[in-house]
Amino acid sequence: MRKINLNKFVVIFALFFASCSGSDERPEYRERSLAAIYNNAVYNLERGRVQQAAFEFDEVERQHPYSSWARRSMLMSAYAYYLQNKYDQSISTAQRFISLHPGNKHAVYAYYLIGQSYYERIQDVARDQRITELALESFVEVVRRYPDTDYARDAQMKIDLTNDHLAGKEMYIGRYYLEKKAFLAAINRFRIVTVDYQTTSHVPEALHRTVEAYLSMGLLDEAYKTASVLGHNFPNSDWYKDSYELIQSNLE
């Protein structure tokens, strides 16, 4: 009987290779030792046979539910599903791990994997952004619960990116309203960007578009105030130069 290698559990988390195609049919039940099942799962995973690996990790929990390796296998199964782009299965497995073992030292990985499984499915700003919001919520939870971990540091970067994406959605809608001359609706969308997403890259454009909307409504004072805010915070921005030119042309 091969001895279970404890170090493999840590090593596998660092592996990010493409999954290979495999049968979706779960193999028939065969009673085996914990070591035989787990080592076979790791063997498959290391060779890119992630579907088979996921089945084997599930089998560890199925046949040996009270062992410490059942907990580890649950996380490995979630990871294997993630590698196959089976994100819903990865999320449900990770959530089950958290529910059953909330104080486990590896729970941070479960939280992080949930965030990653949402993050991988973020769509273009023209589409619904509920998945983006779920990714953001998940990464915020990682940072809140485990602030001093490498997972939290990576999650913070993903938080910044998801916020930028959500701001992009508001800009997309705001530009649409501006084009349709629904100026108040456009201003409200741009205000969401400048208030709720004020650290994102979209703020200078949001302020400029607000200037455009105010000028189109004949509200010169409001346009001037907004342009002043843009100039104070982003004096070297091309958006400020555009706003300045708009203001000047309306004052002539």
Residue 185 lies in a domain: no
Q: Could you tell me if residue 9 is inside a domain?
A: yes
Is residue 244 predicted with pLDDT exceeding 90? yes
Per DSSP, 159 falls in state H
User: Is residue 64 one of the residues assigned to a domain?
Assistant: yes
74 domain residue, yes or no: yes
Residue 212 lies in a domain: no
Selected residue with higher pLDDT from 57 and 214: 214
Q: Is residue 29 part of a domain?
A: yes
**Is residue 23 one of the residues assigned to a domain?**
yes
> What's the domain count of the chain?
1
Q: Which residue has the higher pLDDT, 11 or 228?
A: 228
pTM of the full structure:
0.82
* 19 part of a folded domain: yes
The dihedral built from the CA positions of residue 186, 187, 193 and 196, taken in this order, carries a sign that is negative
Residue range 22-29: mean pLDDT, rounded? 56
- How many Cβ atoms are within 10 Å of 195's Cβ, its own excluded? 10
User: pLDDT tier at 25 (50, 70, 90 boundaries)?
Assistant: low
Per-residue pLDDT, 5: 43
Domain that holds residue 29: 1-104
DSSP state of 120: T
**9: confidence class by pLDDT, cuts 50, 70, 90:** very low
pLDDT value at 144 more than 60: yes
Phi-psi category of residue 48: left, alpha or beta, with phi > 0 → left and psi -120 to 50 → alpha: left
What average pLDDT does the segment 181-196 reach?
A: 98
Residue 232, pLDDT above cutoff 90: yes
Higher pLDDT pick, 108 / 41: 108
Identity of the residue numbered 111: Y
- State both tokens at 171: 């800009």
What is the Cα–Cα distance from 32 to 40, expressed in whole angstroms? Answer: 11
Q: Both tokens of residue 93? A: 């497995």
Lowest mean pLDDT: which of 52-66, 122-136, 164-178? 52-66
Quote the pLDDT of residue 125.
94
Q: Which residue has the tokens 């993630």?
A: 82
User: Identity (one letter) of the amino acid at 181?
Assistant: K
Please compute the mean of the pLDDT values over residues 226-239 and round it to a whole number. 96
Distance CA 93, CA 98 (A): 9
pLDDT above 50 (res 78): yes
Over residues 201-224, the pLDDT tens digits come to 999 999 999 999 999 999 999 999
